[in-house]
Amino acid sequence: MDKLGKLKETHLVTKHNALNNMRADNMSMQELRMLSVYISRINPKDAATRQVKFSLADFQAIMGLGKVNIAYYKAVAKELLSKVIFLTTASGGFDGFTLFSRFRLDTDENGQWYVDIIASEEAMPLFFDFRNGNYFKYELWNALTLKSAGHLRLYEVLKQYERIGGRNVSV
């Protein structure tokens, strides 16, 4: 994948319900934003798009971030790569795996910084298996403009249940 994908706020995030139901309260806002950007750049009908490459400058412009801080992005990458998802099996057990197999921050031949993220093999169904209405959609800007991880999680839960009309949430 040589060409950097242009990052736009109007890209759609098509998110699997199981991915939304995972306990993401231990994910920082930047991790949730990177996850949303990743999901907005894949084609959920084509698993060959599991590798996403985008300009860091685009991400920084959308997020209002300053100069490149390698240590900061390394910390975000480390946390994203260490996130383990647990899905309940039919027998009541669980299946655990990481979402991503690689997160690369580097410069291209023109000296432009880019991010390159690849979904792990085990996580492929969460990004590309959208049968039986087990997903919801929203525009990327909705995730990027929210100010806290809690706000983003609440927005995604509400979007997930928008089609059925409601959900009771205990506080």
Residue 70 has pLDDT above 70, yes or no: yes
Per-residue pLDDT tens digits for 26-62: 778 888 888 888 999 898 889 999 999 988 888 777 7
The partner residues of 16 in beta bridges, in order of sequence, read: 135
Beta strands per DSSP E along the chain: 12-16, 51-55, 84-88, 94-98, 100-107, 113-119, 135-139
Instruction: For residue 66, tell me if it sits in a domain.
Output: yes
Rounded CA-CA distance 155/152 in Å is 5
Per-residue pLDDT tens digits for 135-160: 889 888 888 788 888 888 888 888 88
Per-residue pLDDT tens digits for 50-59: 999 988 888 7
Instruction: For residue 53, tell me if it sits in a domain.
Output: yes
Rounded CA-CA distance 167/88 in Å is 21
Query: Mean pLDDT across the chain, nearest whole number?
Result: 83
State the residue range of the domain holding 124.
12-160
What's the predicted TM-score (pTM) here?
Answer: 0.81
Per-residue pLDDT tens digits for 78-93: 999 998 888 888 999 9
Instruction: For residue 3, tell me if it sits in a domain.
Output: no
Number of structural domains found in the chain: 1
Q: What is the CATH number of the domain that holds 110?
A: 1.10.10.10
Instruction: For residue 86, tell me if it sits in a domain.
Output: yes
pLDDT at 16: 86
Instruction: For residue 167, tell me if it sits in a domain.
Output: no
Nearest alpha carbon to residue 145 among 155, 137, 135, 136: 155
Instruction: For residue 25, tell me if it sits in a domain.
Output: yes
Rounded CA-CA distance 99/11 in Å is 21
Instruction: For residue 82, tell me if it sits in a domain.
Output: yes
Instruction: For residue 149, tell me if it sits in a domain.
Output: yes
Rounded CA-CA distance 42/99 in Å is 14
